[in-house]
């Protein structure tokens, strides 16, 4: 195998449900290679297994068939530092923002061993510096419910990055935000990625977001979940919001959009399609 592959899925299938009659094939015979320090976006209709891939790589669910390798070893064999951020900020409401951000340092080795000694000095400064980088300077002492949704999501990103993860798993982290906050966070995300170069898998519904942030975009289809297209995003970094209006960018997102609309049409039963249209 290629040494540059940081994440590799080999003929992986994931089936949910206890027995054959009720089982759902969330992911079917999927192979995917992601290079070290790469930034890949997974797009596709609902239920296509985007989040399933994320959970597989994060070790949250096992593969029913096939192999998942992270950092060149089978999953679990090598301690890989992973950071995650979901659509909900999932901050712990009883902790101040700073303590929320420092949570991974409390759990993950090698930081874990020094947590008690450094939580009021080095780790604290590290959290504050990261918070300042996402525009939350001075909010470390607040509680999550005192912040807006966008601010909580920024804090959630900080928590995902504080322990310098080699692998960053993002499941629609900007999905619930308003347009302008989202675009601002894209820029912050890009800066953080350029500075630290973790391997990133981003699950999103937003093609512009995928195009702005990712080096590669994989398109998936549902029932059974499969990757049907894998395109490189050729634009230079750092990218800007103006790039989104570049004809080449528009052509790319247009093509991906058509792909998704097409596979979506295939899979949605007629009756349900009509109901959805009515709704």
Does 137 help bind another protein (rule: CB under 8 A)? Answer: no
β-bridge pairing 65-70 and 73-74: antiparallel
Rounded-to-integer distance, Cα 38 and Cα 215, Å: 7
Rounded-to-integer distance, Cα 82 and Cα 161, Å: 9
**Contact region for another protein (CB under 8 A) — 13-21, 42-50, 91-99, 235-243?**
91-99
Does 176 help bind another protein (rule: CB under 8 A)? Answer: no
**Contact region for another protein (CB under 8 A) — 87-95, 125-133, 195-203, 226-234?**
87-95
Residue from 44, 45, 49, 58 binding another protein (CB under 8 A)? 58
Between 84 and 207, whose beta carbon lies closer to another protein?
84
3-state secondary structure of 16: strand
Minimum distance from residue 36 beta carbon to another protein (Å): 19
Report the phi/psi class of residue 103: left, alpha or beta, with left for phi > 0 and alpha for psi in -120 to 50: alpha
Between 54 and 214, whose beta carbon lies closer to another protein?
54
Does 106 help bind another protein (rule: CB under 8 A)? Answer: yes
Residue from 13, 143, 187, 216 binding another protein (CB under 8 A)? 143
Does 113 help bind another protein (rule: CB under 8 A)? Answer: no
CB atoms within 10 A of CB 50: 29
Q: Give the sheet arrangement for strand 24-35, strand by strand.
A: 24-35, 5-16, 65-70, 73-74
# of chain residues touching another protein (CB under 8 A): 26
3-state secondary structure of 126: helix
Rounded-to-integer distance, Cα 22 and Cα 31, Å: 25
Residues that bind another protein in the complex, under the rule CB under 8 A: 55, 58-60, 79, 82-84, 86, 88, 90, 92-94, 103-104, 106-108, 142-143, 145-146, 159, 163, 169
């Amino acid at each position: 195998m290629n040494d540059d592959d940081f994440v590799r899925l080999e003929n992986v299938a994931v089936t949910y449900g206890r027995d054959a009659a009720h089982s759902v094939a969330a992911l079917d015979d999927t192979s995917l290679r992601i290079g070290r320090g790469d930034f890949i976006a997974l797009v596709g209709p609902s239920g296509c297994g985007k989040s399933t891939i994320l959970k597989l790589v994060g070790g949250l669910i096992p593969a029913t068939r096939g192999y998942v390798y992270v950092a060149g070893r089978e999953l679990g064999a090598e301690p890989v530092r992973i950071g995650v951020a979901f659509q909900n900020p999932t901050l712990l409401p009883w902790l101040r923002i700073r303590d929320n951000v420092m949570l991974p340092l409390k759990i993950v080795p090698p930081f874990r061993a020094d947590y008690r000694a450094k939580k009021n000095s080095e780790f604290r400064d590290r959290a504050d510096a990261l918070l300042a980088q996402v525009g939350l300077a001075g909010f470390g002492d607040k509680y999550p419910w005192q912040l807006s949704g966008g601010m909580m999501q920024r804090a959630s990103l900080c928590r995902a990055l504080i322990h310098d993860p080699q692998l960053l798993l993002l499941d629609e982290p900007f999905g619930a935000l308003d347009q302008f906050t989202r675009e601002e966070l894209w820029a912050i995300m890009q800066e953080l990625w350029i500075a630290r170069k973790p391997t990133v898998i981003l699950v999103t519904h937003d093609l512009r977001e995928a195009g702005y942030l990712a080096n590669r975009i994989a398109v998936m289809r549902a029932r059974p979940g499969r990757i049907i297209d894998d395109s490189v995003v050729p634009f230079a970094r750092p990218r800007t919001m103006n790039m989104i209006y570049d004809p080449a960018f528009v052509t790319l997102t247009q093509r991906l959009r058509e792909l998704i609309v097409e596979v979506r049409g295939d899979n949605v039963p007629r009756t349900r399609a009509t109901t959805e249209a009515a709704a």
